[in-house]
Chain A
């Protein structure tokens, strides 16, 4: 089965293989660049997330894709849907803001500190409480001992929605064989293609 492919390899030579490897690497690199570029534009560490739980049903189901932004100088309001990550918990959570409390940050006496942090201090510190639309109670139990959610825990605000597409990643997580099969076949195709 592979004899023909091997013959083709021999005919095309080592340089061709190298070229294909280079192509493959450039595809991966540009993907990474787009992802990180989006992260810079939206100011969010992961601007696209996949819904993993059913706590926002019937709006968001498992496998739906969400697009996030996290503008630095914009406060969060009730009704906004946030994605947050509590330190110690490995899965980010998508829930709606139920309460906001804008606590004015403690002003420092020294002028230097005020000057350097002027951009930050114009925005009040917010304490948030969230709740999943499909849950009966708010999220205090999920905060792992924290009383309120703060800005630093938040990955972003949900802006856009695309159904079902993210299910591929869930399927790949549930069935690792699928992931390896997909990666393997993609790699093989990239090496073999003769166009």
Chain B
């Protein structure tokens, strides 16, 4: 009954159940932190340029170049179960055919609380194009700054940190930058 095997078995079972309880408590504790910081987002300029498509060199494709300013203090989002923050700026619009679109044009990974005060001025990091290959006649787009809190253990949480006050229109296509 009291062999080494049964002792090892008991101890490891006890330790692993303690570990599971602790992990569950930590995962649940991140719901107690309900910070909802708000920042500022401003679009300074948009240009739409006609260019060659990625896969079809003979096809034309409109690319949008968006310049923007972000100021946001996201330090409250860092608590003991925050591994990193994934911050992304997306454009939301519906094109002529009523197709709803969400396109991420910029992102940043924030790993430390010290880096969580975001002050950024620049242009889109990823290619911004429409699925119909033209921005001609597309209604104005909303730009939204969102974040994803990624924990050490537990559930992923999402939130919205800033939004443009009103939709920003796409200008007419130019042939070169």
| Co-assembled chains A and B | yes
A→B interface (CB under 8 Å)? 58-59, 77-79, 81, 96-104, 124, 127, 131, 133, 138, 140, 158-163
Interface size on B, residues (CB 8 A): 32
Q: Is the CB–CB distance between A161 and B103 below 8 Å?
A: no
A161-B101 contact given A79-B86, A98-B126, CB 8 Å threshold:
no
Decide yes or no whether B153 CB sits under 8 A from chain A: yes
Q: Which of B121-154 contact A (CB under 8 A)?
A: 126, 131, 146, 148, 150-154
- What is the bound-complex CA distance between A157 and B151, given in angstroms? 16
B→A interface (CB under 8 Å)? 23, 27, 54-55, 83-84, 86, 88, 90, 97-104, 107, 109, 111, 126, 131, 146, 148, 150-156, 158
Most buried by B among A101, A131, A138: A101
- What is the bound-complex CA distance between A138 and B131, given in angstroms? 15
Q: Is the CB–CB distance between A101 and B99 below 8 Å?
A: yes
A133-B156 contact given A102-B101, A161-B150, CB 8 Å threshold:
no
Q: Is the CB–CB distance between A78 and B102 below 8 Å?
A: yes
A163-B153 contact given A79-B146, A98-B126, CB 8 Å threshold:
yes
Q: Which A residues touch B126, using CB under 8 A?
A: 98, 131, 138
Q: Is the CB–CB distance between B156 and A159 below 8 Å?
A: yes
Q: Which A residues touch B155, using CB under 8 A?
A: 159-161
Q: Which B residues touch A124, using CB under 8 A?
A: 100
Q: Is the CB–CB distance between B84 and A58 below 8 Å?
A: yes
Q: Is the CB–CB distance between A59 and B131 below 8 Å?
A: no
Q: Is the CB–CB distance between B158 and A79 below 8 Å?
A: yes
Extra A-B contacts (4), CB below 8 Å, given A78-B146, A161-B155, A161-B156: A79-B90, A99-B101, A99-B103, A101-B100
Q: Which B residues touch A103, using CB under 8 A?
A: 99, 131
- What is the bound-complex CA distance between A103 and B99, given in angstroms? 5
Q: List 7 A-B contacts (CB under 8 A).
A: A59-B109, A78-B88, A78-B102, A78-B146, A100-B101, A133-B86, A133-B107
- What is the bound-complex CA distance between A179 and B33, given in angstroms? 42
Q: Is the CB–CB distance between A133 and B109 below 8 Å?
A: yes
Q: Is the CB–CB distance between A59 and B86 below 8 Å?
A: yes
